[in-house]
């Protein structure tokens, strides 16, 4: 692996940890919203349809956030193992320019669905 400076790795770790915390907080809010949709009283077909669409949307958002958290945790494990910056597919070094400030921000944004 290219010897990435410790300061750079620390910055990447901080960004990843921050994104993970945000995603976990959002997962908690999504869970609360999902529970709030659970209604015990009878509903007409229109209310049921709206509730179903809302639940599906929350399910999709939850799935995306869980995927993001898993990806971030995998990156943090690679940092801890000293393999961050090495392609998991081929084992080659990932070019430094791919880790530049803006590139990292774009990556994190894409992972979180905020592109």
The structural domains of the chain, with segments of one domain joined by +, span 6-112
With 60 as the cut, is the pLDDT of residue 57 above it?
A: yes
At the second CATH level, the architecture of 6-112 is: Up-down Bundle (1.20)
pLDDT tens digits for range 37-53: 776 666 777 777 777 88
CB-based burial of residue 84 (10 Å sphere; 0-12 exposed, 13-18 middle, 19+ buried)? buried
Is the whole-model pTM more than 0.85? Answer: no
Per-residue model confidence (pLDDT) at position 105: 56
Please answer whether residues 4 and 96 qualify as being in contact, where contact means their C-beta atoms are separated by less than 8 angstroms: yes
Per-residue model confidence (pLDDT) at position 115: 42
Give the pLDDT band (50/70/90) at residue 109.
low
Per-residue model confidence (pLDDT) at position 58: 86
């Amino acid at each position: 692996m290219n010897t990435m400076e410790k300061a750079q790795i620390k910055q990447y770790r901080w960004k990843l940890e921050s994104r993970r915390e945000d995603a976990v907080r959002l997962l908690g809010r999504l869970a609360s919203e999902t529970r709030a949709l659970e209604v015990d009283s009878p509903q007409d077909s229109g209310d049921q349809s709206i509730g179903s669409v809302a639940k599906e949307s929350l399910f999709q958002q939850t799935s995306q956030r869980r995927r993001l958290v898993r990806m971030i945790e995998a990156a943090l494990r690679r940092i801890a193992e000293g393999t961050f910056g090495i392609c998991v597919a081929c084992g080659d070094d990932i070019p430094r320019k791919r880790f530049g400030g803006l590139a990292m921000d774009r990556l994190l944004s894409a992972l979180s669905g905020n592109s």
